[in-house]
């Protein structure tokens, strides 16, 4: 089971991103379990983060909505499916 924020705790984006950076800068690994703390976008939203020399993989990235991520030296690089731009919606049909 992945760690979660305490019930009722909501953190603004700026605090979440700073916390993410502090965890990383203190030498703690950014793994799937670490990223799971930020998996609820209503309570802990990440907008843009940088990850280097970490073990985060597809699972952590899939469940952690991040608008922009820079990965360097990640041991399990994310699959191209996670990094691909979403397909545009189909055009409306003209009936």
Query: Structurally, how many domains does the chain consist of?
Result: 1
Residues 44 and 23 sit within 8 Å (Cβ to Cβ): no
- Please give the pLDDT value at position 78: 55
54 within a domain of the structure (yes/no): yes
Show the domain range for 51.
13-79
88 within a domain of the structure (yes/no): no
Rounded to the nearest 5 percent, the helix, strand and coil shares of the chain are 30, 15, 55
State the pLDDT confidence band at 63, using cuts at 50, 70 and 90: confident
Q: Residue 86 pLDDT more than 60?
A: no
38 within a domain of the structure (yes/no): yes
Strands 46-52 and 66-72: parallel
Secondary structure of residue 60 in the 3-state scheme: helix
20 Cβ partners below 8 Å, 6+ apart?
A: 30, 38, 46, 49
The residue-averaged pLDDT of 62-80 equals: 68
- Please give the pLDDT value at position 62: 76
90 within a domain of the structure (yes/no): no
Q: Which tens digit of pLDDT belongs to each residue from 2-28?
A: 567 788 889 999 999 899 889 888 988
Between these two residues, 61 and 78, which has the higher pLDDT value? Answer: 61
The structure's pTM equals 0.67
1 within a domain of the structure (yes/no): no
Percentage with pLDDT > 70 across the chain:
73
End-to-end CA distance of the chain: 49
Residues 71 and 61 sit within 8 Å (Cβ to Cβ): no
Nearest Cα neighbor of 30 from 59, 10, 60, 63 is 60
47 within a domain of the structure (yes/no): yes
- Please give the pLDDT value at position 15: 92
């Amino acid at each position: 089971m992945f760690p979660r924020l305490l019930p009722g705790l909501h953190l603004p984006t700026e605090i979440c991103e700073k916390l993410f950076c502090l965890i990383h800068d203190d030498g703690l690994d950014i793994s799937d379990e670490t990223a799971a703390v930020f998996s609820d976008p209503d309570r802990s939203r990440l907008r843009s983060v940088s990850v280097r020399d970490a073990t985060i993989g597809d699972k952590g990235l899939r469940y952690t909505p991040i608008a922009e991520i820079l990965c360097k030296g990640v041991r399990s690089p994310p699959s191209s499916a996670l990094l691909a731009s979403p397909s545009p919606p189909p055009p409306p049909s003209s009936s």
